[in-house]
Structure 1
Amino acid sequence: MADPLPGVSYVMPVLNEVEHIEDAVLSLTAQHYEGPTEVVLALGPSADGTNDVVGRLSAQDPRIRSIPNPLGSTPGGLNAAIRASIHPVVIRVDAHSVLPADYTRIAVDTLLRTGADNVGGIMKAVGVTPFEKAVATAYGSRTGLGGTPHHVGGAEGPAETVYLGVFRRDRLFAVGLFDEEIKRGQDWELNRRLRTTGGTVWFTPELQVEYRPRSSLRRLARQFVATGMWRGELARRFTASNSIRYFIPPLAVLGVIGGLVAGAVGLATGNGLLTAALIIPGVYAAFVVFAAIETARNGLRAFLWYLVVLPTIHIGWGTGFLLGFLKLTRNITARTGR
Structure 2
Amino acid sequence: MPDNEIDAPDDGVSFVMPVLNERAYLEHAVRSVLAQELTVPAELVLALGPSTDGTTALAQRLAADDERIRLVDNPAAHIPVGLNAAIRASRYATIVRVDAHSELSPGYAARALETLRRTGAANVGGVMHADGRTPFQRAVARLYNSPVGLGGGAYHGGTHEGEAESAYLGVMRRDVLEEVGLFDESIRRGEDWELNLRIRQAGHRVWFDPSLSVTYWPRESWLRLARQFRATGAWRGELVRRYGRRNGIRFFAPPALVALLATAVLLGITQLVGAVTGVLSAILSAVIYLPLLAYVLLVLVVAALPGGGGPRQRLWTAAVLPTMHLSWGFGFLGGVLRGARDTVDASRLGTRNTPLP
CA contact (8 A) 1:125 1:136 kept: yes
Matched, 1:333 2:336: no
* Secondary structure in structure 2 of the residue aligned to 1:66: strand
User: Which residue is equivalent to 2:72?
Assistant: 67
Say if 2:329 is the partner of 1:318. yes
Change (3 A) 1:334 1:245: closer
Summarize the Cα distance change of 1:189–1:38 in structure 2 as closer, same or farther, 3 Å threshold: same
Q: Counterpart of 2:67 in structure 1: which amino acid?
A: P
2:180 maps to 175
Residue identity opposite 1:48 in structure 2: D
Displacement of 1:59 after TM fit? 1.0
Find the counterpart in structure 1 of residue 56 from structure 2: 51
Query: Aligned-residue CA RMSD in angstroms?
Result: 1.7
Aligned residue among 288, 297, 305 for 1:286: 297
Amino acid at match of 1:155: H
1: distance between equivalents of 2:297 and 2:241?
32
1:199 equivalent in structure 2 = 204
Find the partner of 1:122 among 120, 127, 136.
127
Structure 2: distance between partners of 1:275 and 1:115: 54
Deviation string, structure 1 residues 256-305 (Cα, Å, up to 9, x no partner): 22113312431442734355543333222111111212365411111000
- From 120, 128, 137, the equivalent of 1:132 is 137
Following TM superposition, by how much is the alpha carbon of 1:332 offset from its aligned partner in structure 2, in angstroms?
2.2
**Equivalent residues in 2 for 1:67-146 (5 A)?**
67-146=72-151
> 1:164 Cα shift?
0.3
Q: Which amino acid aligns with 1:8?
A: V
Stretch deviating more after TM superposition (50-59 or 259-268): 259-268
Quote the Cα distance in structure 1 between the aligned partners of 2:146 and 2:94: 31
Match of 1:35 among 33, 40, 49: 40
User: C-alpha displacement at 1:236, in angstroms?
Assistant: 1.5
Task: Please report how far the alpha carbon of residue 220 of structure 1 lies from its aligned counterpart in structure 2 after TM superposition.
Answer: 0.3
Distance verdict in 2 for CA 1:284–1:240, change over 3 Å = closer
What is the rounded CA distance, in whole Å, between the counterparts of 1:336 and 1:302 in structure 2? 25
Q: How far 1:33 moved relative to its partner? A: 1.7
Structure 1 residues not aligned, in runs of 5+: none
Give the whole-Å Cα distance in 1 for the aligned partners of 2:306 and 2:252: 26
Residue equivalent to 1:302: 313
Structure with larger RCO (C-alpha < 8 A, sep 6+): 2
Q: Secondary structure at the match of 1:122?
A: strand
Q: Percent identity?
A: 51
Residue 354 of structure 2: aligned partner: none
TM-score, scaled relative to structure 2 = 0.89
- Distance in 2 between the 1:6 and 1:156 partners? 26
Paired amino acid for 1:234: L
- Deviation, 1:333, is 2.2
**Cα distance, 1:144–1:48 mapped onto 2, change above 3 Å:** same
Q: Which amino acid aligns with 1:96?
A: H
Q: Please give the alpha-carbon distance, in whole angstroms, between the structure 1 residues aligned to 2:113 and 2:285.
A: 58
Measured in 1, the distance between the counterparts of 2:343 and 2:334 equals 14
Secondary structure of 2:91's aligned partner? coil
Quote the offset at 1:334 in angstroms. Answer: 4.5
- Greater shift after overlay, 271-280 or 311-320? 271-280
Q: Which amino acid aligns with 1:286?
A: L
Q: Secondary structure at the match of 2:170?
A: strand
User: Secondary structure in 2 aligned to 1:38?
Assistant: strand
> Does structure 1 conserve the Cα–Cα contact (< 8 Å) formed by 2:46 and 2:70?
yes
Give yes or no for contact 1:32–1:102 (8 Å, CA) kept in 2. yes
Deviation at residue 32 of structure 1 after TM alignment: 1.9
- Offset from partner CA, 1:48-83 (integer Å, 9 cap, x none): 100111011111111011011111110000000000
* Partners of 2:13 and 2:40 within 8 A in 1: yes
CA contact (8 A) 1:266 1:275 kept: no
Moved over 4 A (4+): 334-338
Question: Structure 1 length normalisation: TM-score?
Answer: 0.94
Partner SS for 1:164: coil
Q: Single out whichever of 61-70 and 236-245 deviates more from structure 2.
A: 236-245
Match of 2:253 in 1: 248
Q: Deviations 1:207-247 (Å, cap 9, x if unpaired)?
A: 11000000000010000000000001101211141221111
